[in-house]
Structure 1
């Protein structure tokens, strides 16, 4: 696995972890994390590119006030700069919102799309809660203990500690802006999901209180070629806590025939 810096058309830069050979696969992590959050999936039988999201790790932040469509436009720039499109694109949490938006806005760049731990039309109560957390983070009052408690069970201390280090080191400006986009992003493309025509994997864990199985089944049922996978006994960081099950689901997705 190698690390490199990719320069985009607007002059900004993106840190990329690259590994493997085969079909190109772009991996986009969630809010507060970094490319290393995809470590188990870097071993997939593909030419894998895991990126630091804007304002995370060593990637240039987006301009102030960026919202989900701006992150989608950024992802399109990444694929164009890599020069290997169309690509398979998988995103986790906020990354899944970006991946889904990309499949809608730029289908020419997306061969297959995988939405892991994604959100779709939160309930009014859940929406109020996540917007409240976004306001706290913007004010510098957010605690990492709350998300860690939602994401992990007590027997996952080692992985939890690794993720805690990423949350502690992330730029607070980049984190706050991405979280605001994530908090508002569950409805941005909700009415257009049926436009996704490529093979689509929608995956979550049964213990994920925010990216619920109900959301997963709803999204998979709306796309033209969707498959829902719900992994039992895990929570939000399922790609790290159940790496074999997630990687197996991604392998099956990568093997799906693409008709254009």
Structure 2
């Protein structure tokens, strides 16, 4: 699938994206260090039931970075601008990791533009130990000390499927723009509570999925978010870690297909 590009009219930033299928739009936002190609298994499975638009996050893939120092609301505003520029109207929205933070923030800020929202390996109100650890990693990345092997070890086990996915992800991490990576990771490190108080206002069908072996996007976080919203479902996939969309693609896709069939109400789309 060829990458397409658009230029945001207000900021002038270039956004690269993959666009395939027809029907209700499903916008996909990947995590820090990755790119839109990471949604390959989901695009292949879902393009027959909806139009799948996978965005390269700012500073990733072919998309221009946001200014250094940008925080989560800036990434949410970027997503909003892209949705408007593409003329999509109300969208289904799914995000992974940092993309999940963006998706949750977009839904809280723009309920009129959100049909359904799904968070894969999302984070919510880290405890003090986890917060200090991720903020320390962000500070190291900002100083130019980038360790890509540590997250790969944390994200993947040793099964054949995981090792294959690990090799793919290593390629994307190795190609990332380090300035854009640092900006996004810093926003990720500080964004776990930015929209937390607004979750109870989310009324559209809400799905949170994570792996039982993910120490940073934990099942407890996933369950807590699903309980806070008005129409939430939490799924924990056993035997998997942080990259469930790649390592447990069939199971994730089945849950997404079910989520896409959950009725929305007219009130949610007004």
| Alignment TM-score, normalising by the size of structure 1 | 0.98
- How far the C-alpha of 1:142 sits from its partner, in A, is 2.2
Aligned to 1:203, what secondary structure does the other structure show?
Answer: strand
Aligned to 1:2, what secondary structure does the other structure show?
Answer: coil
Query: Could you tell me which residue of structure 2 aligns to residue 47 of structure 1?
Result: 51
Q: How does 1:1-260 map to 2 (within 5 A)?
A: 1-9=1-9, 10-43=11-44, 44=46, 45-155=49-159, 156-259=162-265, 260=267
Cα RMSD (Å) of the superposition?
Answer: 0.8
Aligned to 1:33, what secondary structure does the other structure show?
Answer: coil
Greater displacement, 219-228 / 10-19: 10-19
Would the aligned equivalents of 1:2 and 1:19 in 2 still touch at CA under 8 Å?
no
Aligned to 2:28, what secondary structure does the other structure show?
Answer: strand
Aligned to 1:227, what secondary structure does the other structure show?
Answer: strand
Q: Which deviations, in whole Å up to 9, do the C-alpha atoms of 1:10-37 show, x marking residues without a partner? A: 2111101111111100000000000001
Aligned to 1:63, what secondary structure does the other structure show?
Answer: coil
Q: Which deviations, in whole Å up to 9, do the C-alpha atoms of 1:124-158 show, x marking residues without a partner? A: 00000000110111111121111001100012222
- How far the C-alpha of 1:108 sits from its partner, in A, is 1.5
Give the count of matched residue pairs. 260
| Alignment TM-score, normalising by the size of structure 2 | 0.95
Greater displacement, 49-58 / 134-143: 134-143
Moved over 4 A (4+): none
Q: Take 2:133 and 2:68, find their aligned partners in 1: how far apart are those partners? A: 23
Q: Take 2:134 and 2:3, find their aligned partners in 1: how far apart are those partners? A: 33
Q: Take 1:164 and 1:84, find their aligned partners in 2: how far apart are those partners? A: 32
Q: Take 1:8 and 1:110, find their aligned partners in 2: how far apart are those partners? A: 20
Aligned to 1:239, what secondary structure does the other structure show?
Answer: helix
- How far the C-alpha of 1:231 sits from its partner, in A, is 0.6
Q: Take 1:157 and 1:65, find their aligned partners in 2: how far apart are those partners? A: 34
Q: Take 1:212 and 1:64, find their aligned partners in 2: how far apart are those partners? A: 29
Would the aligned equivalents of 1:197 and 1:224 in 2 still touch at CA under 8 Å?
yes
Q: Take 1:244 and 1:36, find their aligned partners in 2: how far apart are those partners? A: 17
